[in-house]
Amino acid sequence: MSAIPLHSVTPADAIRLPLEQTLALQRAAYLAHPYPSFAERKADLKKLKAFIQDNREAILDAISADYGNRSRHETLFAEIYGIVDGLDHAVGHLRKWMKPQRRGIDLKNFLGAKNRVIPQPLGVVGQIVPWNFPIFLCFGGLTSAFAAGNRCMVKMSENSRQLAKLLIEKSPAYFPKDKLAFFDETGGVGIEFSKLKFDHLLFTGSGVTGRAVMAAASQNLCPVTLELGGKAPALVCDDFPLKKAVERITFFKYFNAGQICTTADHVFVPQAKVSEFVEIAKQVVSSRYANLDTKDYTAVIDERAFNRITRAMDEAESRGATLVQLIAGKKWDVATHKIAPHIVLNAPPDCELRTREIFGPVLPVVAYTAMEEVINTINSGPRPLAFYPFSNDKALIHTLLNRVMSGGATVNDIVLHTGQHDMPFGGVGESGMGHYHGYEGFVTFSKLRPVFYQAPFSAIKFLWPPYGAFATKYLDFLTKR
């Protein structure tokens, strides 16, 4: 008669166990070697670069397979180039970032002593990576975390199955598991991953999931950096050349089929220029994409996203909005999950296209007659991840940047602030918290540890009890004007 097991392994246990084992492995490795040298960190960053470059073609194919069709050029430009360039920037600045900072000392009490702030690794960093730019968002976080001397566990998206498989397969050739480990989303992994006791957790994704991740991390008092999305507005001011604005806005709006958290969700256009804006957009966009089947145009990631976007378009149209298709041919294709670039006019303020982040190739154009009206409309909603004012009037731009808060901003273009390696990237309010990229990324994944070095002689000894006349006079001297 066989023994009856005292307990059985639940599905949650089966998911949690390899995660906990990997965390324990990385934690032990960190404790054994808590401060990697400059040479070690530089070598790690160069290995990340080699990882990308050695597997470039396989990465391009895997991402395209995950999408159904992802423009090769878009992946090269927005993911591969951005990471390779960012790694070079980190390598070039790492020695300066690691250098202890001198801080001022109070000479009245601490003559001869020293203050230093020493950047030290936190330990093990967790990353939850979305599907829309999986290499850029994964390796961007790894760049910052490895520069700061940490070890990393990365959970990929359920929509990045081919890429996750590739990264899991290839990673051991570059990094041991106690340094870097990738995990696929097979169902329930993200929930268990966010419950782990990391030293820092970086999440990029939707606000709904971000709230759940933050709630789980809070049980361990694990600090989080949340990079979320929102309704990022573009604003075309009356003085800015309209064709130039259209060319720049539509490039990134329909890049990756609009599946960019920092792209312009909608655009405010002067009432008198709306018709001209639409006509220019038709000419510009149709010259870029001959038809829906071109390989230069990316598919929507999956059926659920495709249905959400097309349903929102139908809802807006049924309530009086005008859908303007910008290229010839089919409006959309269910089989390939491609949706033609569209502009939407007169969308009701409470329809889904106006109230929920679109994350697709649909651009509502909102007519305005007064700048105050635009400012009040933006400020009445959640703070966006990005803001894009177009104007050559420096005073007006100054006013707009002061009055409209957002996570970041690009003036006279869109999205490009996210590709600047020497600037922080992050949201504010409901669009996120914390920063990474460049030096700020190094800081996010470091403990800026304050260290006070006492002098051989300390004046504090004169303030030891029992307190006498000297202590009274000295404290009076320190506290009276």
Contacts of 215 by beta carbon, 8 Å cutoff, 6+ apart: none
Identity (one letter) of the amino acid at 56?
A: R
Identity of the amino acid at 126? G
The total of other beta-carbon atoms located within 10 Å of residue 191's CB is 14
> Terminus-to-terminus CA distance in the chain, angstroms?
89
Residue the block writes with tokens 């910008």: 326
Alpha carbon distance 31, 11 (integer Å): 31
Structure tokens at 311: 């349903």
* 3 exposure class (CB count in 10 Å sphere: 0-12, 13-18, 19+): exposed
Q: Are 390 and 412 in contact (CB under 8 A)?
A: yes
Other Cβ atoms less than 10 A from the Cβ of 372: the count is 10
At 121, is the secondary structure helix, strand, or coil? strand
Kindly report the backbone phi and psi dihedral angles of residue 50, in degrees, each rounded to the nearest multiple of 5, phi listed first.
Answer: -65, -40
CA–CA distance, 105 with 321 (Å, rounded to integer)? 64
* Cβ atoms of residues 299 and 327 within 8 Å: no
Residue 78, C-beta contacts closer than 8 angstroms, at least 6 positions apart: 133, 136, 255, 256
Which DSSP helix (H) or strand (E) runs through 281? helix 274-288
Annotated active-site positions, please? 227, 261
What are the tokens at 239? 């003085």
Q: Is 134 helix (H, G, I), strand (E, B) or coil?
A: helix
Distance, CA of 233 to chain centre: 18
Helix (H, G, I), strand (E, B) or coil at 223: coil
Q: 237, 235, 213: which is closest to 226 by C-alpha?
A: 213
Residue that has been written with the tokens 């979320």 in this structure? 228
